[in-house]
Amino acid sequence: MRPEAIGERPVPERHRLIFYLGHLEAFDWNLLAPVLGLTSTRPEWDKLFAFGIDPTDGALPNEPASAWPPRHEVEAYGRQIRERLWQALKRGMRDGGLEQRIEVALEHRWMHVETLTYLIHNLPYELKVQPGPSAPAGAAAAQPAGEIEIAAGAVTLGKSRQDGFGWDNEFDEQTVQVAAFTAGQRKVTNGEYLRFVQAGAAAPHFWERREGAWWQRGMFAAVPLPLDWPVYVTHAEASAYAAWAGKRLPSEAEWGRMAQATPAGEERAHPWGSAPPEGVAGNFNLRRWDPLPTHSFPATASAWGVEDLVGNGWEWTSTVFGPLPGFKPFDFYPGYSANFFDGQHFIMKGGSARTAACLLRRSFRNWFQPNYPYVYAGFRCVA
């Protein structure tokens, strides 16, 4: 990103990019300083950069770029916070809950790597500089996609509190019985969605029309619409397509059943097995900027043969974001999930090309409003 882009607001529903320059440090400070015995030197900035926005009432931010502090001052603010926190941490733990807070701080940063990616995606190309080539693409040959029968059975949602770090909405672990269903072997592609558009539906946000042909707006260049890439759409668009096709979106439990359960009644850490994502070939963990054909990584298929479940685009479910039984908010961050238990957000599972490996655990839940078009989110149909 070019320096002059820092004052831009590429997504109308979000803060200007300058906010994110200060947000990560302010978040860490507000989270860690109280248990490290530190007092603030810029409390007004700690508040200014504390939280992003997620407008649900149609009211969009409209302040000018000049309302934000200069970049050099925000960078100095961040450097001071990092140094003070680092020096305090080197002196040792002062609170039994500090380790959990550090986990929150680290995963929060990885989440914002993805947030910043889709924000920058919406900048004009002249304001961006490609940092380097992506990792080599998969070389799998395309085979016709079909539907997979998923037998009735159990699936585990959430995780145990003895099973390492998780965000508050990931607890507690529960077993859910799922009826038999059929699932698309792969995500719905641009080519499949194009037929819906030709039937009268609106084109997705990532498409644009040029001289009578459809193009996809990639991160650093527009390309003729790749028909075998997964389509990125809103929840509302995904639901409308599924209904048009005589199908529907999977529930969170159905998604988990096809991704982690096995016909033998066991469950896997990931669709492909127990191997951590860092050592598995797939379009995730920041290896690429754009999607790949949905058939690129057949080796990551689940035990049922369902492909492309992790990476290459989050997958919308029909489940409204809400608490699992036994939910307890973080005492130090009570609003992280609970503020969004409003019936206006839907759960996404899986991950995109820009999702870090630590966020690819099966219990992780992402969520967005149904008409938010900017995230890297696709879907598959079930029946």
The tens digit of pLDDT for each residue in 63-85 reads: 999 999 999 999 999 999 999 99
Q: What is the mean pLDDT of the chain?
A: 95
17-33 as b/e: b if 16+ CB within 10 A:
bbbbbbbbbbbbbbbbb
| Distance from chain centroid for Cα 334 | 21
Tell me which of 193 and 135 has the higher pLDDT. Answer: 193
Encoding tokens for residue 12? 């109308």
CA distances from 27 to 45, 47, 142 (A): 11, 9, 45
Encoding tokens for residue 332? 């130090």
Give me the pLDDT at residue 141, please: 66
Give me the pLDDT at residue 261, please: 98
Q: Are strands 153-157 and 174-178 parallel, antiparallel or unpaired?
A: antiparallel
Local confidence band at 227 (pLDDT 50, 70, 90 cut-offs) = very high
Residue where the block lists tokens 């957000």: 345
Alpha helices in the chain (DSSP H): 17-36, 43-48, 71-90, 98-121, 190-198, 235-244, 252-260, 335-338
Q: Are strands 181-184 and 213-217 parallel, antiparallel or unpaired?
A: unpaired
Report the percentage of the chain scoring pLDDT > 90.
90
Local confidence band at 280 (pLDDT 50, 70, 90 cut-offs) = very high
Tell me the average pLDDT across 216-227: 97
Yes or no: is domain 3-127 CATH 1.10.10.10? Answer: no
Local confidence band at 131 (pLDDT 50, 70, 90 cut-offs) = confident
Tell me the average pLDDT across 323-351: 96
Q: Where in the chain is the domain with CATH 1.20.120.450?
A: 3-127
DSSP, res 305: -
| Rounded Cα distance, 108 and 86, in Å | 18
pLDDT exceeds 70 at position 372: yes
Encoding tokens for residue 383? 């029946």
Residues in the chain: 383
Q: Where in the chain is the domain with CATH 3.90.1580.10?
A: 147-378
Pick one of 3.40.1410.10, 3.30.70.2740, 3.90.1580.10, 3.20.20.10 as the CATH number of 147-378: 3.90.1580.10
Give me the pLDDT at residue 90, please: 87
Give me the pLDDT at residue 133, please: 74
pLDDT exceeds 90 at position 353: yes
Tell me which of 59 and 245 has the higher pLDDT. Answer: 245
Helices 71-90/17-36 angle, 10° precision: 30
Encoding tokens for residue 76? 């100095």
Tell me the average pLDDT across 228-237: 98
pLDDT exceeds 80 at position 142: no
Give me the pLDDT at residue 139, please: 59
Contact 293, 232 (CB under 8 A): no
Give me the pLDDT at residue 132, please: 79
Local confidence band at 56 (pLDDT 50, 70, 90 cut-offs) = low
Helices 98-121/17-36 angle, 10° precision: 180
pLDDT exceeds 90 at position 17: yes
| Rounded Cα distance, 284 and 309, in Å | 11
Residue where the block lists tokens 């999702």: 355
Measured at the alpha carbon of residue 240, what is the angle toward residues 235 and 246, in degrees to the nearest 5?
125
Encoding tokens for residue 363? 């219990």
Tell me the average pLDDT across 348-354: 98
Q: Is the pTM of this model over 0.85?
A: yes
Give me the pLDDT at residue 59, please: 78
Local confidence band at 34 (pLDDT 50, 70, 90 cut-offs) = very high
pLDDT exceeds 80 at position 95: no
pLDDT exceeds 80 at position 88: yes
For residue 143, the tally of other CB atoms under 10 A from its CB is 11
